[in-house]
Chains A and B, each alone.
Chain A
Amino acid sequence: MWWRSPSFILDREQQQQNDSVPPNPESLFLSSPPPSMADSLQNPKSNISAYYQTRAAHHAVVTSDWLAQAQAAVGSHTDDEESSGIDGRAAATDEDGGGGGGKAFSVIDEFNSWRKQPDLAEAVAAIFALAAVIRASQATTMMELEIELKKASDSLKSWDTTSISLTAGCDLFMRYVTRTSALEYEDFNSAKSRLIERAEKFGEISCKARRIIAMLSQDFIFDGCTILVHGFSRVVLEVLKTAAQNKKLFRVFCTEGRPDRTGLRLSNELAKLDVPVKLLIDSAVAYTMDEVDMVFVGADGVVESGGIINMMGTYQIALVAHSMNKPVYVAAESYKFARLYPLDQKDMGPALRPIDFGVPIPSKVEVETSARDYTPPQYLTLLFTDLGVLTPSVVSDELIQLYL
């Protein structure tokens, strides 16, 4: 557990920062339209987690003309399999060319450049970034390369401690590097090329992952069922899309998902697939739960306990569902498996995000701006991952197998 303590300290000082910031400008700032990509790139240590800014950027936080933006996003949704994979490789190559000469190379920029494309998951972006590092590196032995990568990944992780999948991605890749280096190699270059090849392969796999998950989950969606969805998860959307394509007759309840209002976005998407969809305010979950047949959520990260870390509100939905004996299904790609073991809610770095209450909040009032919560495994029924359908206990087993 060496890794948790530093992140803790980090959180602390972040908190202090938040409190130190004068309230009035903050509220002003918050009420202003969402921060663009640009300002999220500099000041990574702002009081708003970069993770959530990217989410915001990707998910086109709902504004007056959210419809239009949603349209655009969906347009790009259609061809996610190849596109990201392809231009991933393309970019990688020219990166290679440029990186050969210049010393000026930062993982962060690399990472951000990858992260720009809407459908590339953070973990993948991270791994691509690391791959670029390998290409750029002048290391001559496996050992050096490893050290270099370690540095890079650490800097990535520390750059945004709140993004779990980023951390997970880095860990995963580092793990692989150490494994390969363990196997004796004929010559260094082949090993290097091998690593890069792997990285790209990984990109493709992670793109395929959503299709796989969608496939796996089909059997569980039966005709006439009602599905409660919380938050906007690309995987969950993919699942529902596939179900609609398979002529399943089902309806969806979307929670509003304050303050990101992700529910509005999802409901919009579903309406396009003419799936009957109903919007609930987040507090109406328990009220509607008796009509619900199953709960579908995505995950920011899947932790070693088999529980998940997901958008704020997942935990309480899971609790309600459990108390009413409704299954809770989680759709998450395997690169979201993270080496965390949170023991309670406060146990991980809170990702903070602005909450717009419409009216200015007096400074004395404290606002809980944490964006996500931890749902313990006993409240989850099954996880649909690209590794297959898993029970929470299997997940923890997987992680242990990998990192022990």
Chain B
Amino acid sequence: MGAQKKGATARVSEDPEELARHPLQAILLADSFTTKFRPITLERPKVLLPLANIPMIDYTLAWLESAGVEEVFVFCCAHSKQVIDYLESSDWSSQPNFLVATIESHNSISAGDALRLIYERHVIHGDFVLISGDTVSNMSLTQALQEHKERRKKDANAIMTMVVKQSKPSPITQQSRLGTDELFMAINPDTKQLLCYEDKAEYSKGFISLDKTLIADNPSTVLHNDKQDCYIDICSEEVLSLFTDNFDYQHLRRHFVKGLLVDDIMGYKIFTHEIHSSYAARIDNFRSYDTISKDIIQRWTYPFVPDVLCGNSAIRVERRGTYRASEITLSRSAQIGPFIVIGQGTEIGNDTKISHSVIGEGCTIGSNVTIEGSYIWNNVTIEDGCELRHAIVCDGVTMKSGAVLEPGVVLSFKVVVGQQFVVPAYSMVSLLQQPTQQDSDEELEYADSSSGNVELPSAKLNGDITSDLSETRHGPTSELGTGGVGYIWSIFEGGHDEEWRHSVAPIPTDKLAKIMLDKDEDEELLTQDGNVLSPSGELKSDSDANDSEDGDNEGSRDDYVSFEKEVEATFLRAVHENVKVDHVILEVNALRLSYNMASVDCAGAIFYSMMKLAVESPHSSSSELHRNAADVITTWQNLLKSFLHDIDEEIEVILKFEEICLESAKEFSPLFAQILHLLYDKDILEEDAILRWADEKEGADESDKVFVQRAEKFLQVRNELIMSIRVCIWLL
């Protein structure tokens, strides 16, 4: 067969030498500690969900096994019984030199807890691979381990190596093809050290702040937004102890990684290892479930593909990526499109069209059914004339004739959809009532499946069926049409934006169009000098709301407000962390570019923030306020000056000042003249700027003139001076 691709050959040469010292261990978290896969995960743990008809955990274990890992500790929490039973029934328990041990817990609510628990067990010796049970990969660990060990030799603080892979996020919706939010990583290109890790949830305020020390002590820093975190970590023992030390670490990335990155007391370092030829990805949400299934079908995960993975029930690949198990009863007139997986013993009726879908084992599909990009699990019954588009249908579901699933629907176990009933797009249907008040992903499928054990949901489930049946007898009051059984979960608030982002359905074109329209940022800025920002979802949404109601000047105005906020924030940070002036100037410039504002606006904004600072700094009397203002101005005059290139900007500043006095900070109104004078003395303002301002104000109505009058005296002095000079000239 000739030699093999790099990964595999490496894999072959793996086991003996460097792993011989102590067996390579791995911790496999068989619980995602999220609720992304609700409602399915209420009844079955995520790791047992079929991925191209094979449970996810099998992919993970198969990879670990072939990557030379010898001991795997499977940590199971939610539905732990199911996981353990599965592992015992499967042949993983009986592998010659591949030990799979389960660690069960009932009160762990996060990866942090899990690791703490494992630490107490004292099972991990030396380096280990930390992975969650929903990760698919075919990478070779040899090189990554090598690097990790060498780094350890050099520097005991390099305790973790994160595996990353290039994957360009969609420029339109800031999310990767896996449906995860755009991820920013600052990596030192030479040492491959991870300097900053920001996923969108964190920088929703619109920009990322890099600690300047990073830029200081790393000669070069590349900030990637096209790296995908594979959630495969090679860790040293310290990691576990770290978790026990800081008991507040819950989430692996948000708390642990960031925690390490920010604290420089311990000086622990995290490094990255990028893989190119091989594949690795984690199933985080329904979109990634879809994407990864398709990758598997396209054999990116070779040799972990259905036909190789399950040798016993012979699945054969045919042309155009069709995987067919041996016993299938297929009607002659059925049209089986490309990229299909069909499981054992499935029956497909006449004139049924199927494309880009996975169909499980023992399903019965009637005639004239249309299935498109859907995932149908085992023992599903679909009667004649149904239509499924980009839906997930779990075990034992029944779709009565003519039922329709619109894109993004998820039918959980044993749901029954009534005749001719149309399930609206993105709706989740389950036999279980929707748990009350779930709000975010942070919350754990464990906490609110009201108690961990599996019995209770099932008991509840039977109850549901009976009750539903009874109520359907009374009349078609069921939520799923006549004869339907199940509850349609209400889409919880705030999630609505996320619906289309994370569902199996592709993003509808109108959505894309809308986002496109909202976009007014250009790509190359994204990674421009250490300071990156991109407007966050919320910002866009309300801004486009404005767009819709009134013209774009309003929009730009609105932009200006946010811009001002940015500048202020920058400025304040500059003040508190006393950043050098020119740094601040840089940042403000960056802001200006990205908001494409004129330097006029900068001047205004900066002045505004200075004054704001002055006001906010404690003061009792107006005199103190004046003093504050004075020293703020004195300290930051260079900053201000650097934006006052010509007279208009100066005028702008004055106008701004005026505005401030009128609206935001009334306290200034008495001090207007003095501060104006002060500005003049610090020659931040030219005098003819002031005069011009005065002249402009001539035409204005009384209310507007008030400050002109305030400044009258000052102005007069000026004017007289000018006069006298003129007179002298005239006399001569």
Contact with B along A233-271 (1 / 0, CB 8 A): 000000000000001010000000000000000000000
Tell whether A276 is near chain B: CB-to-CB under 8 Å: yes
Contact with B along A271-306 (1 / 0, CB 8 A): 000001000000000000000000000000000000
Tell whether B330 is near chain A: CB-to-CB under 8 Å: yes
Interface size class of A (residues with CB under 8 A): under 10
B330 contacts across to A, CB distance below 8 A: 223, 247, 249
In A22-66, which residues have CB < 8 Å from any B CB? none
In B301-330, which residues have CB < 8 Å from any A CB? 329-330
How far, in Å, is A234 (CB) from chain B's closest CB? 25
For the residues of B in contact with A, the DSSP-based class is strand
Tell whether B332 is near chain A: CB-to-CB under 8 Å: yes
For the residues of A in contact with B, the DSSP-based class is loop
* A222 closest partner in B (C-beta): B318
How far, in Å, is B344 (CB) from chain A's closest CB? 14
CA distance A249 to B334 in the complex (A): 11
CA distance A287 to B138 in the complex (A): 49
A223 contacts across to B, CB distance below 8 A: 330
B329 contacts across to A, CB distance below 8 A: 247
CA distance A223 to B316 in the complex (A): 13
CA distance A249 to B332 in the complex (A): 6
How far, in Å, is B336 (CB) from chain A's closest CB? 10
* B327 closest partner in A (C-beta): A247
How far, in Å, is A77 (CB) from chain B's closest CB? 23
CA distance A182 to B183 in the complex (A): 89
* B319 closest partner in A (C-beta): A224
How far, in Å, is A250 (CB) from chain B's closest CB? 9
A247 contacts across to B, CB distance below 8 A: 329-330
CA distance A226 to B46 in the complex (A): 45
* A276 closest partner in B (C-beta): B332
CA distance A247 to B329 in the complex (A): 8
CA distance A156 to B365 in the complex (A): 60
In A112-160, which residues have CB < 8 Å from any B CB? none
How far, in Å, is B249 (CB) from chain A's closest CB? 55
B332 contacts across to A, CB distance below 8 A: 249, 276
How far, in Å, is B449 (CB) from chain A's closest CB? 44
CA distance A57 to B113 in the complex (A): 87
CA distance A276 to B333 in the complex (A): 11
How far, in Å, is B354 (CB) from chain A's closest CB? 15
A249 contacts across to B, CB distance below 8 A: 330, 332
CA distance A247 to B327 in the complex (A): 10
CA distance A223 to B324 in the complex (A): 12
* B318 closest partner in A (C-beta): A223
How far, in Å, is B452 (CB) from chain A's closest CB? 46
Contact with B along A98-122 (1 / 0, CB 8 A): 0000000000000000000000000
A276 contacts across to B, CB distance below 8 A: 332
Contact with B along A194-224 (1 / 0, CB 8 A): 0000000000000000000000000000010
Contact with B along A336-359 (1 / 0, CB 8 A): 000000000000000000000000
* A247 closest partner in B (C-beta): B329
CA distance A223 to B330 in the complex (A): 10
How far, in Å, is A236 (CB) from chain B's closest CB? 21
CA distance A75 to B332 in the complex (A): 26
* A251 closest partner in B (C-beta): B332
The 3 closest A-B pairs by CB, nearest first: A249-B332, A247-B329, A249-B330
Q: Which residues of B are at the interface with A, using a C-beta cutoff of 8 A? A: 329-330, 332
**Can you list 6 contacts pairing A with B, beta carbon distance less than 8 Å?**
A223-B330, A247-B329, A247-B330, A249-B330, A249-B332, A276-B332
